[in-house]
Structure 1
């Protein structure tokens, strides 16, 4: 399996490196990093001052060269009626998106003694693995330590691990 990371907007080398490393580690897949892309035309919702997550997924599907493609952006994204999302993917789809915007909070609520940058790196890794998991057909998991657990807050992201639980691992086949 091949996953292509599609940077959209100003995405640092560190973010791309963390995302790539996490995907290789958890899914044992080939990972490439595509050329940087501009924010999709029409993605911005001026009433919300946010960007539609679906526009980034469509861009990833269109320009990505992998079996699975993930847009990574520093923009604040939303989906339907949710105030914001960290990422979005469709089950068994080829495209997905992760936003680093709301993952930047420096504190993890005291879960660890890691540096602020290490905490953000961990969140990026977890969210990228989570969204690609959806493209492989994995739904949200009830195990709050599993990377496929739904996280409404960064504190929930911090609690979970970067890996799939045994049940989700078996569903992958």
Structure 2
């Protein structure tokens, strides 16, 4: 499998490296990083002061050169009535997106004494692995440690591991 990372807006090099590392580690896939793209026209919702996640998925799908493509952006994303999303993907689709905007909280809720930078790196890896998992047909998993567990807060992202549980692994690997 080939996954193309599509940076949208100003995405720092360490974020791209962590995303690549997470995907290679969990899915043992080829990863490329596309040229940076501008934020999609019409994706900004002034009433919410946020960006529509679907527009970023469409961009990744059309611009990316992989079998699976994931947009990464520092913009704050929302989907439908949700206040925000860390990422979004359509089951079995080829496009997905993650936002680093809300992953940059300085603390992991007291789980460790690791640096904010290390915690942020973990979150980026977990979210790209999670969203690409959806494109591979994985739904949310009930196992709180599995990367495919639904995690609406950073604290829940921090609790789960970067890897797929055995049940999810058997479905895709």
**Bin of the TM-score, shorter chain as denominator length:** over 0.9
For residues 94 and 113 of structure 2, what CA distance do their matches in structure 1 show? 36
Segments of structure 2 that go 5 or more residues without pairing to the other structure are none
Classify the secondary structure of the residue corresponding to 1:3: strand
For residue 2 of structure 2, what is the aligned residue in structure 1? Answer: 2
Structure 1 counterpart SS, 2:102: helix
CA offset at residue 113 of structure 1?
A: 1.4
For the residues of structure 2 that align with 1:170 and 1:34, how far apart are their CA atoms?
Answer: 30
Matched positions, count: 173
Secondary structure of 1:102's partner?
A: coil
Alignment of 1:8-157 (within 5 A): 8-157=8-157
Q: Distance in 2 between matches of 1:113 and 1:6?
A: 32
TM-score normalised by L of structure 1: 0.99
What CA distance in whole angstroms lies between the structure 2 residues aligned with 1:112 and 1:79?
31
Query: For residues 163 and 47 of structure 1, what CA distance do their matches in structure 2 show?
Result: 37
| d(CA) in 1 for partners of 2:113, 2:127 | 21
Runs of 4+ in 1 over 3 A off after TM superposition: none
1:112-141 deviation digits (Å, cap 9, x = unpaired): 111000000000000000000000000000
In structure 2, the residue corresponding to 1:158 is in which secondary structure?
helix
Where does the alignment leave 5 or more consecutive residues of structure 1 unmatched?
none
Per-residue CA distance 1:48-84 (angstroms, 9 max, x = gap): 0000000000000010000000000000000000000
SS at match of 1:103: coil
SS in structure 1 of the partner of residue 19 of structure 2: helix
Q: Kindly report the root-mean-square deviation, in angstroms, between the aligned alpha carbons of the 2 structures.
A: 0.4
